[in-house]
Amino acid sequence: MYYYKRLRDLREDSDLTQRQVAELIQTTQQVYSEYEKGIREIPLFKAIILAKHYNVSLDYITELTDEKRTLK
């Protein structure tokens, strides 16, 4: 099970809906919801899109670090 709590946190901090983020990564709201809940693993290329959008590292999204480390 893959749980990406940070996906939800980043989305909510940006005042976005699941539907809006799903459109950004070209998927459905249902599938995106499954990413947040850990029912489905998010593909790397979609995680990269989100990291760029939120200007954070993949390490931050996957909770390998607590430092957001903005992208250059």
Q: For the whole model, what pTM was predicted?
A: 0.89
CA dihedral 72, 64, 50, 19 (to 10 degrees): -150
Using CB atoms within 10 Å of the CB of residue 37, give its burial: 0 to 12 exposed, 13 to 18 middle, 19+ buried.
middle
**pLDDT for residue 1 is more than 60:** no
15 contacts: CB under 8 Å, gap ≥ 6 = none
Using CB atoms within 10 Å of the CB of residue 53, give its burial: 0 to 12 exposed, 13 to 18 middle, 19+ buried.
middle
| Domains of the chain (ranges, CATH numbers) | 5-61 (1.10.260.40)
The Cα 3–Cα 72 span in angstroms is 27
Segment 25-50, tens digit of pLDDT: 999 999 999 999 989 999 999 999 99
